[in-house]
């Protein structure tokens, strides 16, 4: 999965520091596209010496490489670089720098969406103590947003419930959805499967989780068993929902997602 970068390691501990010449500096445009280049299946970014920004915000480190965010737009892309969405990077690249791009996008989105205090309207400033934005007038503190969501492998004997979204991602997927106010994750599983496919489920069991910066998510994977097998697909959400036998599962084109790993695990008879 995208976060599986061992032996490399993400260090997301908070720090107030200034960039050095070879630290990486990320620029996003107003549409959330990151200034980057793609070579040999890897992602590349500018360094601080390429375009110094004294106001750049420290994000995190991967091994000994520090990543900073410029809160200004770069303008026209320099030679060899272009503006890419994280989805475009996902489709052509892999490795620790792709994971860094996803995580940086998550933080860029948070900074971009929280320029002013929702309580009094004053401009927010970066905290000197923690990863937070603070209102200097009323003291309101805003932390990075993380949306909990579930990925669900619904099993019916030797088949699993495969879906495809009506819009957006074009490859095979599993039932997925966001947790609503007042729900447990297990309740989200049962509700989302029922809403999207009309299938009742039981024996809900946790599998694994995944940070998914593209949608500011924490994806939580579950397998469960079908109590009913008739499918009543939500045609506003999905264009495909069918029981598919292990040997007939068509996986996604890369191994970045929790969804693909769960399909692969079932296909290989490991669940």
Q: How far apart are CA 33 and CA 85, in angstroms?
A: 4
| Mean pLDDT taken over the chain | 94
The pLDDT score that the predictor gives to residue 103 is: 96
The pLDDT score that the predictor gives to residue 271 is: 78
Residue 71 binned pLDDT confidence (cut-offs 50, 70, 90): confident
Q: How far apart are CA 26 and CA 39, in angstroms?
A: 17
Q: Give the pLDDT mean for 194-207.
A: 97
Burial of 173 per CB tally in 10 Å (0-12, 13-18, 19+): buried
Q: Could you tell me which CATH number the domain at 147-267 has?
A: 3.90.79.10
Ranges in the chain annotated CATH 3.90.79.10: 147-267
DSSP string, 186-234: HHHHHHHHHHHH---EEEEEEEEEEEEGGGTEEEEEEEEEES-------
Cis peptide before 7 (omega within 30 of 0): yes
Architecture of 10-113 per CATH? Alpha-Beta Complex (3.90)
The pLDDT score that the predictor gives to residue 186 is: 98
More confident residue, 271 or 204: 204
Percent of the chain with pLDDT over 70: 100
For residue 50, the SS3 value is: coil
Burial of 203 per CB tally in 10 Å (0-12, 13-18, 19+): exposed
Q: In this predicted model, what pLDDT tens digit does every residue of 162-187 receive, in sequence order?
A: 999 887 677 899 999 999 999 999 99
Q: In this predicted model, what pLDDT tens digit does every residue of 222-259 receive, in sequence order?
A: 999 999 999 999 988 899 999 999 999 999 988 899 99
């Amino acid at each position: 999965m995208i976060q599986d970068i061992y032996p490399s390691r993400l260090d997301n501990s908070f720090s107030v520091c200034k960039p050095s010449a070879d630290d990486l500096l990320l620029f996003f445009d107003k549409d959330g596209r990151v200034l980057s280049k793609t070579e040999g299946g890897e992602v590349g970014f500018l360094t601080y010496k390429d375009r110094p920004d004294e106001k750049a915000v420290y994000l995190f480190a991967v091994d000994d490489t520090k990543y900073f965010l410029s809160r200004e737009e770069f303008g026209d892309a320099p030679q060899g670089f272009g503006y890419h969405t994280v989805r475009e990077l996902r489709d052509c690249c892999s490795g620790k720098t792709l994971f860094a791009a996803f995580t940086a996008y998550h933080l860029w989105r948070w900074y971009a969406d929280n320029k002013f205090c929702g309580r009094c309207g004053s401009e927010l400033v970066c905290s000197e103590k923690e990863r937070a934005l603070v209102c200097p007038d009323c003291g309101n503190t805003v932390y990075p947003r993380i949306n909990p969501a579930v990925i669900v492998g619904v099993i019916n004997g030797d088949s699993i419930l495969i879906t495809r979204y009506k819009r957006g991602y074009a490859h095979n997927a599993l039932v997925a959805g966001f947790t609503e106010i007042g729900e447990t994750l297990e309740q989200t599983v049962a509700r989302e499967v029922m809403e999207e496919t009309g299938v009742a489920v039981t024996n809900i069991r946790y599998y694994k989780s995944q940070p998914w910066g593209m949608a500011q998510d924490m994806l939580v994977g579950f397998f469960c068993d079908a109590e009913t097998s008739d499918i009543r697909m939500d045609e506003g959400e999905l264009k495909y929902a069918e029981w598919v036998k292990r040997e007939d599962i068509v996986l996604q084109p890369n191994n970045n997602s929790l969804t693909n790993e769960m399909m692969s695990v079932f296909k290989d008879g490991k669940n």
